[in-house]
Structure 1
Amino acid sequence: MTVQFNLNESMRGQFKYHNSPLAIARFPFPFPEDSYMYSVNLEPATAKPDTVFAHWFDIDEHYLTETNERAMTLKSDPKRCVIMPHMQQAAWDFLEMAMEHLSQDYPEQFELRRHGKQWHWINHPMKIDVQFTFGDTSTLAMEPFEFISRQVQGDIALLDQREGDLWMDAGMITGAADWSLNFDAGMSFRQWHAPVPQIAHDLGVFERALKFLLNIQVGHPYRRLNWTMTINPRMDTSSETYHLWGHERCMVTPENVGELVHLRVELQFMPRLPRSNALLFSIRTYLISLNDLITHPDWAKRLHRVLRDLPEEIAEYKGITRYRATVVQWLSQFDQ
């Protein structure tokens, strides 16, 4: 697959971000119905050619923009990458999985050559060319988890499985949607999902979801879509940077809503890592402005109905309460 990368984009400061017609066409619109309630909505991660579901790790036109954004975030806050000592095997597991799939699915951009434990990795877009010994951290410039996580789009968590639960014991989270890795690191699945509104009312749904994830098998990954909204094409909306973006929720007007408000969709992908038995939980984020979204009339109609009828507690949880009415009113013109 040939990818044409957008250059000179910025996801902070003076925002410069553009979705091509192809990026709009393959955007993972998350609403199969005119209403929305929080659900597990897991499905087998089978390949769907010419969509964001084609490969295990989706690389698109924003690759260099997003990896550069990640590097800037890590420079200002290195704690966005956390890996606990017992997760080293899982880190090498993930490095192998990512390198194998990237080199197979995007051979023009990535190359992997292996001679036993002697590996040669080439990332052409990022101009990385390194030879190292698999399993020997001293042969890389940084920890293997950080090394490979800097080269994929989306956030990465490695979940250790023990005591009948999943524990967030490693993560590279530079594009969190209003949460904090430093707060959630070391927590169990039950603990970090406690704020989700529907869980408080239906613990059975939550427990069934956890039981399902605990039983995901090697070679049989699952995925789901999650969504929220973001003002400006800002990737880093973590709790740590709330002082930089929180006020933007008050800036939405009927005149700028199409430009400022972005639907933010997470493709959450969950494969089992074969050696360590850890579960990879990747969060690949896609952004689309409402101006771009309304080029699909059916999407505009459905988003209007979803936001209009969204339960208040979910709107509050997703942080859209302050500008929801403005967005609903603006979208109503496309739902006649």
Structure 2
Amino acid sequence: MNMAFKQETLRDDYTFSNSPESVRRFPFPFDEDEYMYSVNIEPHDAGPPGAVTEYAIDIDEHYLTECEERRIVLEDDHGRYVALPHMMDAQWDMVELVMTNLAKDYPESFQLTQDGDNWHWVNKPLGIDQQFVFGDTSTLPMEPFEFISRQVQGDWVIMDQRDDDLFADLGIVTGQADWSVAFDAGMSFKEWHAPVPHAPEMGIFDRALKYLLHLQYGSPVRRTNWRMCVNPRLDTSSEKWHLWGPDNVSVTAENVAEKVYLRVELQALFRLPRSNAIAFSIRTYMVSLEDLAMYPRWIKRLYRVLNSLHPDLAEYKGLNSYLPYVLEWLKPQDDGEVLPKGTQPE
């Protein structure tokens, strides 16, 4: 597959845009007309050709854009990379996970040659040609996890398993949705997810934790999560709220379709072989309401979900300041058609 990588910006002048193919493969998260937070875990099996789930790690037309955005964020705040000392085995696990999957699934862009512990990695899009000894940090220009995570889209949190719990002890998070990896570092699984409204009393994270503690190597799982944002900005971290927060009050009836984006996280979880840790990938996709309208069924379902959304969830997802404009724009496009269960656009 020959992929055309685009050079865009995700801040300031916002030149980010989705091709029709990128909109078509967008992981629309709603399979019913109402939404309530749930575990919604399924096997991370290979999806149909062209889907975001076709391969274990998805690379798309925004690859160069997102890698450059990560570089900018880390240059400004290297605290977005967290690595506790006991996680070195997990770092090398991540090198193997990413390199082997990218080389296998995108051979026109990534190449990996292995001769025992002597590895040779070529990343053509980023112009990287690196020989190193697997397990020897001194043979890389930086820590192994940082080296490889700068070359992949999406954020990653690696959870150490101990004392019947999971702890966020390794991560690189440069495009998060209003949370802080520096604040959450070292937290347990339920501490990390505590802010989600109504989920704790429903026992959602008790069930999720029990499930993940028994996750098997070679049997990854996935789920989706969503929110909305104003402008296609990946870095909506708590630390940078002063930069992106004011955008929420810039939405009007006239600009809502082009400024407001549905933002979906495809979250995959992989058991790692050496460390027994769990890698949690948070791969974010964004599409404007204007582009989403290419598929009327998606627009109708989005209106119904947002119109019936519990007020606590709307507040948690940061929608309140512009939700009325979104609903006003979506409502005329809902003709009352009975929609089948599922996320297919047509």
Q: TM-score, normalised by structure 2?
A: 0.96
Q: Does 1:274 align with 2:291?
A: no
**Aligned amino acid, residue 300 of structure 1:** I
In the TM superposition, 1:28-47 aligns within 5 A as: 28-47=27-46
Aligned equivalents of 2:200 and 2:139: distance in 1?
Answer: 47
> 1:22: how far off?
0.6
**Aligned amino acid, residue 206 of structure 2:** E
Aligned to 1:231: 230
Q: TM-score, normalised by structure 1?
A: 0.98
Aligned to 1:74: 74
> 1:265: how far off?
0.2
In the TM superposition, 1:304-315 aligns within 5 A as: 304-315=303-314
Q: Does 1:5 align with 2:5?
A: yes
Structure 1 residue ranges, 4+ long, deviating more than 3 angstroms after superposition: none
> 1:200: how far off?
3.6
Aligned equivalents of 2:24 and 2:94: distance in 1?
Answer: 30
Aligned equivalents of 2:189 and 2:320: distance in 1?
Answer: 27
> 1:302: how far off?
0.4
In the TM superposition, 1:215-230 aligns within 5 A as: 215-230=214-229
Aligned to 1:183: 183
Q: Secondary structure at the match of 1:267?
A: strand
Q: Does 1:100 align with 2:116?
A: no
Identity %: 57
- The superposition leaves residues 121-175 of structure 1 with CA deviations (integer Å, 9 ceiling, x where unpaired) of 0000000001000000000000001000000000011100001110000000000
> 1:199: how far off?
2.0
> 1:285: how far off?
0.2
Aligned to 1:290: 289
Aligned equivalents of 1:37 and 1:199: distance in 2?
Answer: 9
> What is the CA RMSD across the aligned residues, in angstroms?
0.7
- The superposition leaves residues 86-122 of structure 1 with CA deviations (integer Å, 9 ceiling, x where unpaired) of 0000000010011000000000000000111110000
How many equivalent pairs are there?
Answer: 334
- The superposition leaves residues 169-209 of structure 1 with CA deviations (integer Å, 9 ceiling, x where unpaired) of 0000000100000000000001011111122431x222111
Aligned equivalents of 2:332 and 2:5: distance in 1?
Answer: 34
Aligned to 2:124: 124
Q: Secondary structure at the match of 1:35?
A: coil
Aligned to 2:257: 258
Aligned to 1:205: 204
Aligned to 2:140: 140
In the TM superposition, 1:49-68 aligns within 5 A as: 49=48, 50-68=50-68
**Aligned amino acid, residue 213 of structure 1:** L
Aligned equivalents of 2:278 and 2:130: distance in 1?
Answer: 27
Aligned equivalents of 2:6 and 2:253: distance in 1?
Answer: 29
Aligned to 2:339: none
Q: Secondary structure at the match of 1:313?
A: helix
Aligned equivalents of 1:206 and 1:14: distance in 2?
Answer: 39
Q: Secondary structure at the match of 2:15?
A: coil
> 1:258: how far off?
0.6
Aligned to 2:316: 317
Aligned to 1:111: 111
Aligned to 2:332: 333
> 1:6: how far off?
1.1
Aligned equivalents of 1:200 and 1:156: distance in 2?
Answer: 23
> 1:58: how far off?
0.1
**Aligned amino acid, residue 70 of structure 1:** R
